[in-house]
Amino acid sequence: MSITAQAASPPSPPALGLTSGEVEQRRRDGLTNDVPERASRSVRDIVKANVFTRINAILGVLFILVLATGSIIDGMFGLLIIANSAVGIIQEVRAKQTLDKLAIVGQAKPVVRREGKAVAIAPQEIVLDDIIELGPGDQIVVDGEVVETELLEVDESLLTGEADPIDKTLGGPIMSGSFVVSGSGAYRATKVGKDAYAAKLADEASKFTLVKSELRSGIDTILKVITYLLIPAGLLSIYNQLVSSKESWRPAVNGMVAALVPMVPEGLVLMTSIAFAVGVVRLGARKCLVQELPAIEGLARVDVVCADKTGTLTENGMRLAEIRPAGDIGRAQHAAGNGAAANDIQELRQVLAALAGDDPRPNASMLAIKEALPEAPGWQSTGVAPFSSAKKWSGMSYGEHGNWLIGAPDVLLDPASEIATTAQEIGAKGLRVLLLARSDRSVDAPDAPGTVTAAALVVLEQKVRPDAKETLEYFASQNVSTKVISGDNAVSVGAVATSLGMPGGDHPVDARKLPEDQNELADVLDQQTVFGRVRPDQKRAMVAALQSRGHTVAMTGDGVNDVLALKDADIGVAMGSGSPATRSVAQIVLLDNRFATLPYVVGEGRRVIGNIERVSNLFLTKTVYSVVLAFLVGIAGIGSQIFHYKAIGYPFLPRHVTIAAWFTIGIPAFILSLAPNNERARSGFVGRVMRLAVPSGTVIGVMTFISYLIAYKGPDAGETAKIQAGTTALITLLIVAVWVLAIVARPWNWWKILLVTGSVAGYLILFAVPFTRHFFKLDPSNVALTTSAIICGAIGVVLVEVAWWLSAKVLGESPHTRQESVENA
């Protein structure tokens, strides 16, 4: 329930937090953070969305019309309503269950104080007046006011658009949806549940949805056009059946329904839903959480991947490898290990142990130091400067023990100094190097760091992910360029990239020298691949520059410095172990923290979109030939009234158009929609699909009409003659339609050849078995008419093939590989 009586809440608790009794009382009073764990569509909404569709409405009306004629057999297409709805519901519910389970695994767990102890809980368990601790990268989950702060800086850009971090002082407001950039602190929850500032935004942002997709909008556009075509086609058909052909109302309605049903691409939306849902389930099996379903389509279009180094190309964990003193003690003295060096090293170890031990939210570097030097001296700090990605250093002042800084050597030192050169040489080996230095003023002074005196170089080892090289090679093979964008020293980043065989690793770019102008920055990004010392705002600018050149960009990251770039990228990919802020803005979360999962994610997106485009060709070809045939028959009927020649009725019964779709569209489309497909998706879905569907459908419609004209004996012919004429037209239609299936299935392999062969065999059985011939009113016994049907079909095959080649030539593509550039057998 929403919180409306905030003024009546109990007084602010002490910094120790609420007691268990106070928590229970607030729960009984409904003062809880009652936001759903995931704003996924309910089962009821899923059922409604799959039952009450435009296609089901059209088919439902036509089904009722057929039932009114008393011909239940011709109403078999009504089963499509049940099939479309049932399969769509089952697949989406299955996908929902997968997503909901993964969402719980990847959920951010804020740390609250209760009974004086810090405990991590689910966001839904927060109650009013809870004290919630904050550290770098933490997402703020409810509104509140600051009760503790140590240089706490919060980024509210996701809410306000203001990019600069905001200092938070005691008593200051803090809004849900923002995240901590640097420093630490705690705040008291003052608004929870639906009253929280970002609750409604989060509710809308995390819904399981298929909207805002070029694919979906393209299909919707096609369906709207078809709906408008149904009206004149239906009127023309019913006029032709009743007036021109002088049929009674029952066969007239059946003819009209037979003309209209195949115009509706009934399985297209179903196949799209299935492909998306199966994609979600497959990715879920690889511990990949899809937070926004359109991300699957976006992944298929990605042509640039921007990857961070730490946590992406390298393991998250590090190891303290060496403490190399500076100043009077040079490298040679350190190697000799004399007494003075040993004493100084012991002091440096103490300082490092103090810095790591006193850091309330240590990053990976400080965790490595803390693990190697666990015994902190217990000095009293007199000043604190938390680390931030912008300034690249942190520090502590310890009174008589001095003011100490630790951070990037190339930021804190003169680049020409000997110690900076040494740091550069070490970094060139792929090691991470930090500078431990003294400052002449307190680290929290306004003009800090002031004068910096180098004390030592702290060398950390990073382990390159064993699967990183293979992952980068995959992207290269798929014409997806990779840009390494890191906040670390450029030389160190370049060394890691070179060890992985990345082009450009031998000449990394220091981002501090990058141009501000977007066009100039885009020029640099076109030429270079490895970047170091990149600020968070620069990461965002680099994503925008790539997008300005027409690239579809995926950004991977795990730290708070990646949030803005992740948000602006076409697809944001966060590591499961990353900060809550990164996971909240990303469309994809890799819960297993494996960069090597990304090729499977991209591959799944390509499979889904490529296959939907493939099967769309089949469904829309059927729509086109149905429209062409309906209008040809209707125009011929009007012409018969004007020029007084024999009237022409519609060649098929509804049962004929049902079986026509079985083996040329329905079953093959389902199989093809789940097949491997690694072709990168491109924009222009509707135009590309219609370039095959329009000529192919037109050829089928015209050749079927010609075949029917040859066989048609007039409205006064007997029942046998009418059945034979319809059968002749159907044979021609099936021959060309099967060939369209063969074209769509290219490039061929054993299972696709089996698929096309099976389709042919299915129709041969329908025409050969007496029961099915009688049931579906098929009569191929007239050898002359059947031969003419085969000849018309053969001509249609040649025309469709020529149209296919000409279309491919216009597009500058190879006809053999047009549908799929790379396929996993």
pLDDT in tens, 34-53: 765 554 567 888 788 778 87
- The pLDDT value recorded for residue 316 is 67
Looking at residue 127, the DSSP 8-state letter turns out to be B
Reply yes or no: is the peptide bond before residue 747 cis, omega within 30 of 0.
yes
Q: Which residue has the higher pLDDT, 780 or 806?
A: 780
Residue 629 forms part of a structural domain = yes
User: Quick check: 174 and 146 in contact, CB under 8 A?
Assistant: yes
Residue 681: pLDDT band with limits 50, 70, 90 = low
Q: How far is CA 478 from the centre of its chain?
A: 18
Q: Is 322 helix (H, G, I), strand (E, B) or coil?
A: strand
Greater model confidence, 815 or 377: 377
Question: Which one, of 412, 360, 404, 361, lies nearest residue 383 by Cα?
Answer: 404
Predicted pLDDT of residue 526:
92
The model's confidence at residue 824, banded by pLDDT at 50, 70 and 90, is very low
DSSP string, 245-260: S---HHHHHHHHHHHH
CB neighbourhood size of 604 (10 A):
21
Strands 383-385 and 304-307: unpaired
Cα separation, 223 vs 211, whole angstroms: 15
Same domain, 403 and 482: no
Q: How do residues 67-123 score in pLDDT, each as one tens digit?
A: 877 767 766 667 767 776 777 777 677 777 776 766 665 567 889 999 888 888 888
* Residues with catalytic function: 308
Which residue(s) pair with 481 in the sheet? 304
CA 615 distance to own-chain centroid: 21
Q: For residue 182, how many other CB atoms are within 10 A of its CB?
A: 24
Task: Indicate whether 49 belongs to any domain.
Answer: no
Which of the four pLDDT bands, split at 50, 70 and 90, describes residue 448? confident
Residues 521 and 551 in one domain: yes
Neighbours of 639 (CB within 10 A): 14
DSSP-derived letter for residue 18 is B
Secondary structure element (H or E) that encloses residue 575, with its range: strand 571-575
Q: Is the dihedral of CA 421, 426, 432, 434 positive or negative?
A: negative
The pLDDT, as a whole number, for residue 330 is 47
pLDDT at 483 (0 to 100):
93
How confident is the model at residue 9, as a pLDDT?
Answer: 41
The rounded distance, in Å, linking the Cα atoms of 476 and 470 is 10
3-state helix, strand, coil in the chain (%, to 5): 55, 15, 30
Name, of 141-155, 361-375, 772-786, the range with top average pLDDT. 772-786
pLDDT band at 501 (very low <50, low <70, confident <90, very high): confident
The Cα–Cα gap between 88 and 94 comes to 10
Q: Quick one: 181 and 326 in the same domain?
A: no
The predicted pLDDT at position 210 comes to: 39
Q: Are residues 390 and 533 in the same domain?
A: no
Instruction: Please give the sequence-ordered ranges of beta strands (E in DSSP) within 465-545, or none if there are none.
Output: 481-485, 509-510, 530-532
Please report the sign of the dihedral spanned by the C-alpha atoms of residue 232, residue 237, residue 238, residue 244. Answer: positive
Whichever domain contains 704, its CATH number is 1.20.1110.10
Length of the chain: 825
Q: Residue 727 pLDDT more than 90?
A: yes
- Residue 342 scores a pLDDT above 80: no
- Output phi, psi for 236, to 5 deg: -65, -40
Looking at residue 3, what is its pLDDT?
37
Q: How far is CA 748 from CA 39, 360, 616, 696, 820, in A?
A: 43, 60, 18, 19, 10
Q: What is the pLDDT of residue 216?
A: 73
- pLDDT for the residue 644: 61
| Res 818 pLDDT > 50 | no
Question: Is the domain of 502 the same as that of 544?
Answer: yes
Tens-digit pLDDT profile for residues 175-194: 887 888 888 889 999 988 87
What confidence score (pLDDT) does residue 164 get?
A: 67
Beta bridge mates, 133: 111, 186
Please enumerate in sequence order all residues whose Cβ is within 8 A of that of 45, keeping only pairs 6 or more positions apart, or say none. none
**Ranges 52-56, 102-106, 136-140: which has the least confidence:** 102-106
Judge if 652 and 792 occupy the same domain: yes
Confidence class for position 287, pLDDT limits 50, 70, 90 = confident
Q: Are residues 150 and 115 part of one domain? A: yes
Q: How many domains does the chain have?
A: 4
Amino acid at 205: A
**Would you tell me the crossing angle of helices 719-744 and 783-811 to the nearest 10 degrees?**
30
- 301 and 322 in a single domain? The answer is no
What is the secondary structure of 49-91 as a DSSP string?
Answer: HHHS-HHHHHHHHHHHHHHHHT-SGGGGGGHHHHHHHHHHHHH
Residue 81 domain-assigned? no
Considering 588-597, 640-649, 780-789, the range whose residues carry the highest mean pLDDT is 780-789
Of the pLDDT bands very low, low, confident and very high (cuts 50, 70, 90), residue 640 is low
Q: Which residue has the higher pLDDT, 337 or 784?
A: 784
Q: Is residue 78 in some structural domain? A: no
- Within this chain, do residues 515 and 555 fall inside the same structural domain, yes or no? yes
Residue 115: CB atoms within 10 Å: 13
Same structural domain for residues 659 and 771? Answer: yes
Asked if the structure places residue 211 within a domain, the reply is no
Kindly report the average pLDDT of the chain as a whole number: 80
pLDDT at residue 814 is higher than 60: no
Residues 635 and 732 in one domain: yes
Structural domain ending residue among the three candidates 171, 200, 229: 200
What is the domain-level CATH number for residue 332?
3.40.1110.10
- Domain annotation covers residue 60: no
Element (H, E) at 703: helix 685-711
Helix axes 54-69, 266-285, angle to 10 degrees: 130
Same domain, 568 and 606: no
**Which CATH number goes with the domain that contains 582?**
3.40.50.1000
Q: Record the tokens describing residue 188, joined without a space.
A: 């008291």
C-beta neighbour count of 49 within 10 angstroms:
16
| 625 is a domain residue | yes
Round to whole Å and give the CA distance between 299 and 302.
5
Q: Which residue has the higher pLDDT, 508 or 247?
A: 508
In angstroms, the CA 302 to CA 158 distance is 24
Residue 422 phi, psi (nearest 5): -60, -45
d(CA 408, CA 534): 12
Percentage of the residues of the chain whose pLDDT score is greater than 90: 20
Query: Which DSSP letter does residue 292 get?
Result: S
Which structural domain range is residue 696 located in? 219-282+602-811
Residue 699: predicted pLDDT: 95
Domain boundary among 165, 200, 235: 200
Mean pLDDT of 552-570: 84
Percent of the chain residues past pLDDT 70, beyond the cut: 85
Q: Is the pLDDT of residue 292 over 70?
A: no
Confidence (pTM):
0.69
pLDDT for res 825: 33
Q: CA 369, CA 362: separation in Å to the nearest integer?
A: 10
Examine residue 61 and state whether it is found in any structural domain, yes or no.
no
State which of 559, 591, 623 marks the end of a domain: 591
